[in-house]
Structure 1
Amino acid sequence: MITGASRGLGLALAKALAQDGWSLLLTARGEEDLYSAAFDLDARAIAGDIADPAHVARLAKAVPELDLLVNNASGLGPVPMPPLAGYPLDALRDLLETNVIAPLALIQATLPALRERRGAILNISSDAAVEAYEGWGGYGSTKAALDQISHVLAAEEPEVAVWSVDPGEMHTRMLAAAVGAAEAASAPPPEIVAPALLRLVAARPASGRFTRESLERETTGLGAPA
C-alpha cells in the first residue's frame, strides 16, 4: 500500500515495485491521476484523504494481507512558508493531522495484517526533520515527529521492520511550491531514489532512519542506518 501514489516519489516507487512483481494498492486525493497510474500499473486504487478516518478504514479493509506500507502522502503547509514566529497555529494543526496523525492512524489500522506477514513500514521523512532551515519549521517539525514515531514503533513492534527515509531534494510539485519552479527544476527526479528504496525493501535491514546517502551504502552492504 502506497499513499500519495499519484505523482512524485509515491508514483516512482509504485512503478519500481510493479516492475518487481508486487501487487499494489495505491491511494491519493487526486482521482484522475491516481486511477490513471493504477491503470498503467495494473494496480488497485482507492482515492481519498488519508486524514479522513473513514478512508483509513476503507484502506485497511481492502488489504487483509499486507507486506509493505509506504507512508508517502504529505502536506507542505502555508506557502510562502512562514517563520515560526508568525506560523498560523490552525495551519500547523492541519499539517500535523496530515503528516503525523494520519500515517499513525493508517499504521494502527494495518498493523494486524503487517504483523501476520512480518511486513514492513516505510515512512518518508525529510532533512527538514533534523536541519534548521528558515521557513521549514512547521513542515520539519511534523517530519521530526514522524521520525520519532518510527523509532518507537520499531522498538514496540520487533517483528515489523520500520524504516524512516529522507530521500533528499527531488524535482516534485511540493518542492516547486516551497522554493519556486526554477530552483526545484535543478533537483533530481524522484525516479533516482526509487531503486534504492526497492533494494531496501528487498534487503530488509534493521529498522532505522536512512538518508539518501546512507540508504545507498546500506543497500550495497557498505554501511548502517544514520
Structure 2
Amino acid sequence: MHTTIRKLLCFSLTLAFLNTTTLVLAQSTASTASTLVPPQIASAHTIFISNAGGSNYFNMFTGGPDRGYTQLLNDLEKWNRFRIIQSPSAADLIFEIQAIALTTASLGNDAPGGYDPQLVLRIRDPKTNAILWTTTANVRAAGRQKSRDKGFDKSVAVLVDHVRQLTGEQLTAEQTKAARDNTRAPNSEKILFGTLIGVGVGMMGFGIYKVTHMSQPKLPTPPTSPCGTPFCPI
C-alpha cells in the first residue's frame, strides 16, 4: 500500500513539474533569443521562401499542406521587412516552412485523430544550407472550415512575429499575447492534466485513509472458568 501511494505521489508531482517547465521555457525564449541570434538574420535584406510541404493531415485546411507557404508569403509581403526574391542562391536568407503533425494519441488534445499539428520555420544560410534558426507555432485545428483556416493563419502570424523578434523589432501587446497563447496547452489538455492530478491525489488520499484506518487484529479471548477467573483452586 505504501509503495502504491509513493508511486501516485511521484506521478502527480512529475506531471506538475513537466507542465511548469514547459511554461517557464516558453516564457524564457524571448529573453535568451536576442543574445543567440546569428547577426546575419538581422542584417539580411533579401530572402527566398522555400516550401518544405506537409502531411496529408493539413488537407483539412483550405489550400492543404501548401497553405503555410502561401500565407507566410502573404504575411511577409505585408510586413515589408525583407525583399522576397526568386533565386535562393542570390538571397541573404532562405525561409523554409514545413507543416508537420506529430502523433499524440495519448495527450487528448484538440487535434482530431490524436495529432499535434505544428508549423516549422527554418532559417537557412544559402551558401552553406546550415540552419541558422528554427521556430515553431502550434496549429489549433477545431471547428468548421472557416474557423480552422482562421486558426491556421494565426499560427503563421505567430511565426512572423517570432522573426520580428529575431530582427530586434518590439512586438505590440496584441502580438505578444498571441505568441504567448500559442505556447499554452489547449483547454482539453488542461482538463486532462487536471483530471490526472485529481485522480492521483484522490487515490493517494484514499490510500492514506485505508492505512490510517486499518483495523487492528483482535487477540483471542482466554476461556473463563465457572469461578470467574482463568484458574480455579482445586
TM-score by length of 2: 0.31
The structure with more radius of gyration = 2
Whichever structure has more strand as a proportion of its residues is: 2
TM-score, normalised to structure 1's length?
0.32
